[in-house]
Amino acid sequence: MITVFTKDHCPQCKAVKTVLENTNTPYRERPINAGVMLLAQEKGFTSAPIVVDSAHALTFCGYNKPALQGMIEVNKQ
């Protein structure tokens, strides 16, 4: 399952969630907390949301449409 780590008042977070909802792709939303921030910084992620699909070892940050579309396709298989 896809997990979208979000923060308040984040247009990129809303855009990612909208695409997932419009494609009927299941996801769960979690807030970005200190632990998530630490891990994100270690991976070089600098923007929200942080989108993770641990089942397929896929992760990206921000509104990255090609990465999001790829993640959606992998989860529909």
**Has residue 63 got a pLDDT over 90?**
yes
Query: Cα(52)–Cα(60) distance, rounded to whole angstroms?
Result: 7
pLDDT at 56: 85
Q: Is pLDDT larger for residue 10 or for residue 39?
A: 10
- At 5, list the tokens: 């780590």
* pTM attached to this predicted model: 0.92
1 neighbors 27 (Cβ within 8 angstroms): yes
Query: Cα(35)–Cα(65) distance, rounded to whole angstroms?
Result: 26
Query: Cα(39)–Cα(41) distance, rounded to whole angstroms?
Result: 5
